[in-house]
Amino acid sequence: MIRVAIADDQRVIRDGLSTLVGLIADVEVVGTASDGAEAVSLAQDARPDVVLMDLRMPDVDGTEATRRIRASLPDTQVLVLTTYADDESLFPALHAGARGYLTKDASADEIERAIRAVAAGHTHLDSAIQERLVAAVVDAAPTEHAPPDPLTSRELDVLRLIAAGLSNAEIAAALVVSRATVKTHVNHVFAKTGARDRAQAVRYAYERGIAQPSNSSSR
């Protein structure tokens, strides 16, 4: 039997998934959780093979719950099942150790395939996410004339917004993060690019094709 735990903050979804998963041959639902902290506790008690994990939950979110489960229970795999497929949800969840990632519009057949694949130690991503990951790898691949950039994806986002003329406060609002976080990213951008100020950082972005000069007047 593949033992599955389900974590989602919406009861109707938890109940629906419990029913759906319970109908799969050789699969047993061992418990449900309504938030990330409860999911971690459930996993530690029940030791399921797979946790179906929502991401946007109160208290401890699904990404942090995934990280804690994978750190303490290496034999328990996590399959994300979420409404959100944006990069800000996808990549942190994968980095935290999720083996699979589906959106909640996935069919019952695909959920079953994903559970079986993840339980066996394989990965399972829906087709749209696979295409995006391949595109991200291709876009990030260095060319003969452009060595790999030392900046992380978030630092590149910050650099592009600097080049667009945004202040730290405006960047924080655009990325939905704190000003302190933006300041840290800006400092990392300066350190990695050797820029002493924003003007030099912008020049770095233009020279490497990270950003394009705007035809409109600057701020």
Q: Which of 24-38, 70-84, 131-145 has the lowest mean pLDDT?
A: 131-145
Cα dist from 154 to 41, 45, 145, 160, 208, whole Å:
32, 36, 23, 10, 17
Yes or no: say if 5 and 43 are a contact pair by the CB < 8 Å rule: yes
Report whether pLDDT(174) > 80: yes
Name the pLDDT band for 142 (thresholds 50, 70, 90). low
pLDDT at 129 over 60: yes
Q: Burial of 207 by CB count in 10 Å (0-12 exposed, 13-18 middle, 19+ buried)?
A: exposed
Per DSSP, the three-state class of 211 is coil
In DSSP terms, which residues pair with 5 in a beta bridge?
31, 51
User: Which residue has tokens 């994806």?
Assistant: 153
Region 193-207: what's the mean pLDDT?
Answer: 89
Both tokens of 103, joined, read 């959106």
- What's the mean pLDDT in 201-207? 89
Phi, psi of 79 (to 5 degrees): -115, 110
The reported pLDDT for the residue numbered 119 is 96
Q: Which domains does the chain have, with CATH numbers?
A: 2-134 (3.40.50.2300), 153-207 (1.10.10.10)
pLDDT tens-digit profile of 51-76?
999 999 988 999 999 999 999 999 99
Q: Looking at the predicted structure, is the pLDDT value of residue 207 above 80?
A: yes
Percentage of residues of the chain with pLDDT beyond 70: 89
Reported pTM: 0.63
Return the number of other C-beta atoms located less than 10 Å from residue 184's C-beta.
Answer: 14
Q: Give the H/E segment covering residue 136.
A: helix 127-140
Q: Is-contact 93 36, C-beta < 8 A?
A: no
